[in-house]
Amino acid sequence: MIAAVPHHGDLSDFLTLTDGLSVARVADILRCCTRTVRNYAAGRSPIPWHRIELLRLLKRESTAAAPRAESPSNNSDVGVTANIEPDPAAPDVPPAEMLAWVGVHAPHYLSSQRSFALYVRGWNVVDKIRRAKDEGTFAGVLARWRVLAAELPKTWRSGRIWNDIGPPAYNTA
């Protein structure tokens, strides 16, 4: 007797596997449009089982490839330093780690200290970093940050639109 193959995946599995990734990144991984990913996340569209399996395989590969013995607070080699105050409620998560997390998952929020602070507070970044450290996936975030920090646009903050928003959340070395 042949076992029935499920046609659709679980929404909870999808949300767990895409936690911390942007909609655009998930769409790129799954080779679909961002609207499809938003429909999956909102529960408006059924999620094909093969997309869940693809995310599961990629997650397994990324955790296997991530170096485990790294010092998470050593971001001095990236050429970018945090220009933000440490969170007094979270002494175990230094500004450099928050900067790395936001730089990987939502780099457009690095444009000003205000937008960075709103993102960190609104999306519970400190809790996400703690969970990633517990799961052993934070080293992968730091590895991706080292690559992205080297490519931060030099002219990102030029023009009239940036006049009154304050300094960015980082300094380039």
Q: Which residue has the higher pLDDT, 92 or 167?
A: 92
Residues of the chain with CATH 1.10.260: 8-65
Q: Residue 163: what pLDDT?
A: 52
Distance in Å from the first CA to the final CA of the chain: 64
> What would the two tokens of residue 83 be?
């220009």
Distance from CA of residue 145 to its chain's centroid?
Answer: 10
Fold of 8-65: 434 Repressor (Amino-terminal Domain) (1.10.260)
By percentage, how much of the chain surpasses pLDDT 90?
12
Q: Which residue has the higher pLDDT, 64 or 76?
A: 64
Mean pLDDT of the chain: 78
- pLDDT at 78 > cutoff 50: yes
Q: Which residue has the higher pLDDT, 162 or 58?
A: 58
The CA distance from 171 to 51, in Å, is: 39
Residue range 119-147: average pLDDT? 88
Confidence of residue 155 (pLDDT cuts 50, 70, 90): very low
Residue range 61-78: average pLDDT? 56
Distances (CA, A) of 20 to 4, 128, 147, 168: 32, 8, 18, 22
- pLDDT at 75 > cutoff 60: no
